[in-house]
Structure 1
Amino acid sequence: MASLLYLHTTLPNKMTVKPLAVLNKAHKMRVPFELKQGQTRVSHQLPSGLNIEVIEQKSVTSKDPDKKNEKRPPLVFVHGSYHAAWCWAEHWLPFFADSGFDCYAVSLLGQGESDAPPGTVAGSLQTHAGDVADFIQKNLSLPPVLLGHSFGGLIIQYYIARIRNEKMLEMETPYPEIAGAVLVCSVPPSGNSGLVWRYLFTKPIAAFKVTRSLAAKAFQTDLSLCKETFFSSSMEDHLVLRYQELMKESSRMPLFDLRKLNASLPVPSVPKSSIKVLVLGAKDDFIVDAQGLSETGSFYGVLPVCVEGVAHDMMLDCSWEKGASVILSWLDGLRR
């Protein structure tokens, strides 16, 4: 979640599948993420001609005869600021692939191994959500579940609003239907302004630390501050150092222009819909507070789940299995 305390603050009936090309160009990141067994780094070309990185990991065939022919929705993961597809590939892609899901983690433009667009920022809520929609439309045959972290969660909220509101108006929409959404430590629908003011008035020391860490990017050089911002206190330093280097290399340009982003918020309200949403927070989140988590839950009319013993980067933290297990139980419930 970049610069938290910066106050200026018709889908075609027939889906065309465009093959993904395996990336063979030199790494854009000087500290590349080494893929794990079963993972492939591929490139999806957007209508603009720019390419986004996708790390995919296909499902492991279930040994349970009752689940062998079961079609589970693919999972599409969207990262937040200072991250890229690799943050999901470390733990959660292997976990969910082993649980029978095809997994796809995208790197938004200007992040990870994806191309950088012209200009000074990577995009907007609209353009990032549109890029995710383009990937889904051209490559997936089943409606996926979208999972977004931090500002990636806000992008998914915008995606949901576009689907629902355009459908209500009987408009053609380029946003394919989805099977559900999981918002992980997500920026709330109103953006980060409420978080900003609460920190300034109730936790001034924490406000200074978060501003220094994110707005001034001090997390890139200060190991203890990086740990406090993103991870649990019990996280081993050598892991924090590794992720610190990957985060530093992941973002060649800001994910958003925060002034324009805040001016475009809150996310449009969502008419009553059948899209199931899981709002998931972390008890030890140094960035998104309990009130921010509650706001997101209220917006979707669901009770948020707050996971004990994990921090903001739930998918990388030392107890990453806790959040993954909650999501897996929720995904199992989608079939009922």
Structure 2
Amino acid sequence: MSRAVLNRDYKMRVPYELKQGQSRLFHELPSGLNMEVIFQKGLDHKVPGERRERSENPPLVFIHGSFHAAWCWAEHWMPFFAQRGYDCYAVSLLGQGESDVPAGSVAGSLQTHGGDVADFIRKEIRLPPVLLGHSFGGLIVQYYIANTRNGQFLEMESFYPNLAGAVLVCSVPPSGNSGLVWRYLFSKPVAAFKVTRSLAAKAFQTSLPLCKETFFSASMEDHLVLRYQKLLTESSRMPLFDLRKLNASLPMPSVPCPSVDVLVLGANDDFIVDAEGLNETGRFYGVSPVCVEGAAHDMMLDCSWEKGAKEILSWLSGLNRQELM
């Protein structure tokens, strides 16, 4: 992987300016296409009140959802976790952010996106990482889990690299987004219309109020929403999936007693993933989901971003304690 900052023309007309301590790298995939990676090294010193050293912490690999890219993690969560000793890597899936664009009309499938993430981890990450996915990125993480050695339907050479754990942030549930859509149509028809207009028709790109309602808390300041609206608009040059083909491939194959520890994290004010969707994901992995009060769908960018980060940090601390036992 090239360990240099970006030295070519930006693909996004509104490029994301990295924060101090962050680097923009490019990982060459087997296809020859380059995948953008934003990297931030964890600090070596101990954090007061914590016992573990940085070198003992698992790396964190972040996977974004539709209309997003690696930058969405670099804004708040990567600095937060790096300051607490975690090496952080955020990828931009193909056709998103500063990554190369594949041939075709969509960026890929669960199989191709999952394979790209696995290739990056296999070649560039020294220790089993914790994989964190947001929204449709959470569905990619679920596919990844099903393709690790605890999967039931793969040959040994097909397994993805092992994980130390996985975090599903406001994730699309294992059955896909069709259940969410139908529930909204029958129970919240106005909200269903807004979601469809915002995402399917991409109206969030031109309507500031709709962008705020879709992704952020009502208390989010408009100048921040405007900044993120521009980045969201520029992040996705092609659809992440063909949704018809995606939904036809679901539900996710069941993984009995998965060996990967999973945190299912939702937001109380999520405009996209409802409570039933959150609970479905929790049931699938046999865990009780954690719902963050006062947080919206884009929990990592929201004005209350620290609430979700602290929930994940607490879970990571428990994960680390288990490893020491």
Query: Do both proteins adopt the same fold according to a TM-score greater than 0.5, normalized to the shorter chain?
Result: yes
CA offsets 1:113-172 (integer angstroms, 9 cap, x no match): 000000000000000000000000000110000000000000000000011454676622
Any conservation in 2 of the 1:53–1:106 contact (CA below 8 Å)?
yes
Please, what is the CA RMSD of the aligned residues? 1.4
- The amino acid of 1:55's aligned partner reads I
Change in Cα spacing, 1:218 to 1:168, as seen in structure 2 (3 Å) is: closer
Q: Match for residue 189 of structure 1? A: 174
Unaligned runs of 5+ in 1: 1-17
Q: Match for residue 299 of structure 2? A: 314
Which of 125, 129, 139 matches 1:140?
125
Unaligned runs of 5+ in 2: none
Change in Cα spacing, 1:204 to 1:109, as seen in structure 2 (3 Å) is: same
Which of 263, 266, 269 matches 2:248?
263
Highest RCO, 1 vs 2 (Cα 8 Å, sep ≥ 6): 1
Which of 195, 208, 214 matches 1:223?
208
- 1:22 deviates by 3.6
Which of 156, 171, 190 matches 1:171?
156
Alignment of 1:19-30 (within 5 A): 19-30=2-13
Change in Cα spacing, 1:227 to 1:173, as seen in structure 2 (3 Å) is: same
Q: Match for residue 84 of structure 2? A: 99
* Cα distance in 2 between the residues matched to 1:175 and 1:85: 21
Any conservation in 2 of the 1:164–1:273 contact (CA below 8 Å)?
no
Q: Match for residue 14 of structure 1? A: none
Q: Match for residue 35 of structure 2? A: 52
Match of 1:331, SS state, is helix
* Cα distance in 1 between the residues matched to 2:53 and 2:76: 24
Change in Cα spacing, 1:131 to 1:295, as seen in structure 2 (3 Å) is: same
* Cα distance in 2 between the residues matched to 1:146 and 1:238: 31
- 1:63 deviates by 3.5
TM-score, length of structure 1 as denominator length: 0.92
Match of 2:56, SS state, is coil
* Cα distance in 2 between the residues matched to 1:78 and 1:151: 9
TM-score, length of structure 2 as denominator length: 0.95
- 1:21 deviates by 4.7
- 1:335 deviates by 1.6
Q: Match for residue 269 of structure 2? A: 284
Change in Cα spacing, 1:100 to 1:271, as seen in structure 2 (3 Å) is: same
- 1:19 deviates by 4.9
Match of 1:135, SS state, is helix
Q: Match for residue 330 of structure 1? A: 315
Change in Cα spacing, 1:70 to 1:139, as seen in structure 2 (3 Å) is: closer
- The amino acid of 2:110's aligned partner reads L
